[in-house]
Structure 1
Amino acid sequence: MFRILAIVLCAVLFFAPPAWADSTKLFEYHCSGCHVNGGNIVRRGKTLKLKALEQNGYTTVDAIANIITNGKGNMSAYKERLTESEIQDLAQYVLDRANQNWK
């Protein structure tokens, strides 16, 4: 019994999707409606491109997480829809993608 449980646990850990896969899915579900490929269909200058993030003071994971959590202007707050962990993952994902020019 324990041998089967150990094998199943190892398989789950070995074949678990990478962390970015969850972040990608979160972004696609919650963010891509307005921010396709890091753009912004609502407000042109408020993109998730690195230059715009820098100009608007969102250069850290914490700063990005704060706007995801609390929203601002046309941006909805997600504190009631996402966990703190999901918000942190999304913020890291946005910063990583911006640093890669959304490729």
Structure 2
Amino acid sequence: MSNAKKIVIRRSSNLVKSLPLLCLILLLLTTTFTAPAFAADTANGAQIFSVHCAGCHINGGNIIRRGKNLKKQALKKYGMDSIEAITNIVTNGKSNMSAYKDRLNEKQILDVSAYVLEQAEKNWR
């Protein structure tokens, strides 16, 4: 019976010794993979939208192609319901949509993309 107790004590002491290392690894993993490169500023995105986007997309609509608006249902239908998809189309353009990579920097594109998603969730109200 005393041998069994010694094994348990040895195992638990190894666990206690490795606990700080496990915590450090966990901390590194969570900060490395969950923290964005930089956070979006939707207030800035609203200003950018009003200057560069509202001419064609007033209140989330689309004066060129009515069905391809910025409403939640249309974004989902066309696979544009993620920050990655919206930043890609704002950056590179597509069909009648102009590319903005030469007019806006990455942070501005992220901000306006986040604003579009936020407004779509609110039904542009």
Confirm or deny a common fold (TM above 0.5).
yes
Aligned length: 85
Unaligned runs of 5+ in 2: 1-40
The residue that corresponds to 2:20 in the other structure is none
Structure number, greater radius of gyration: 2
Structure (1/2) with the larger helix percentage: 2
TM-score normalised by structure 1 residue count:
0.80
Which consecutive aligned stretches of 4+ in structure 1 deviate over 6 angstroms post-superposition? Answer: none
Q: Is structure 2 residue 110 aligned with structure 1 residue 88? A: yes
Give the whole-Å Cα distance in 2 for the aligned partners of 1:65 and 1:20: 14
Q: Residue type of the partner of 2:93? A: G
Considering only aligned residues, what root-mean-square deviation do their CA atoms show, in Å?
0.7
1:73 lines up with 2:102 in the alignment: no
Rounded to whole Å, the distance in 2 between the matches of 1:69 and 1:47 is: 17
The answer on 1:35 being equivalent to 2:57 is yes
Residues 61-84 of structure 1, C-alpha deviations (whole Å, 9 max, x = no match): 011000000000000000000000
Structure 1 residue 59, shift from structure 2 partner: 1.2
- 1:26-73 deviation per Cα after TM superposition (whole angstroms, max 9, x unaligned): 000000000000000000111000000000001110110000000000
Stretches of structure 1 lacking an aligned partner (at least 5 in a row): 1-18
Aligned mates of 2:76, 2:101 — CA distance in 1: 23
For 2:89 and 2:111, the matched residues in 1 are separated by 13
Question: In the TM superposition, what is the alpha-carbon distance from 1:20 to its structure 2 partner?
Answer: 3.0
Correspondence 1:53 to 2:83: no
* Residue identity in the other structure for 1:25: Q
TM superposition score normalised by structure 2:
0.66
CA distance in 1, matches of 2:120, 2:42: 14
